[in-house]
Amino acid sequence: MPIVNYTLEVGKELTPEEEEKARLRIQEAKNRPFVYDPDCPLLTEKQLSEFSPVNFATMEERAEAMKVAGLIDEKGNMVIRELVFA
């Protein structure tokens, strides 16, 4: 399936012909089977359950997550880690 790019100027819309072509391409894509990359297999249910959101509801939740990750200390100061080569 080729990649199709549309560039629209502000305030302009697709022509009816372009809309119909886009609708047909979307329908074709919808009916195609999924093809998975063998280098990136599907995740198991356990792996999926280990994901956690990167956005937090409050700044306090974000700060707590950063503390747990070791990015800030208890006072809220940034923890800087550098590689030291001997």
Q: Which tokens sit at 7?
A: 């560039």
For residues 13-19, average pLDDT:
88
Sorting pLDDT into bands at 50, 70 and 90, what band is 70? confident
Measuring CA to CA, how many Å separate 17 from each of 8, 14, 21?
A: 15, 8, 6
Question: Are 57 and 50 contacting, i.e. CB atoms less than 8 angstroms apart?
Answer: no
**Which pLDDT tens digit goes with each residue over 42-55?**
889 999 888 877 77
Sorting pLDDT into bands at 50, 70 and 90, what band is 1? low
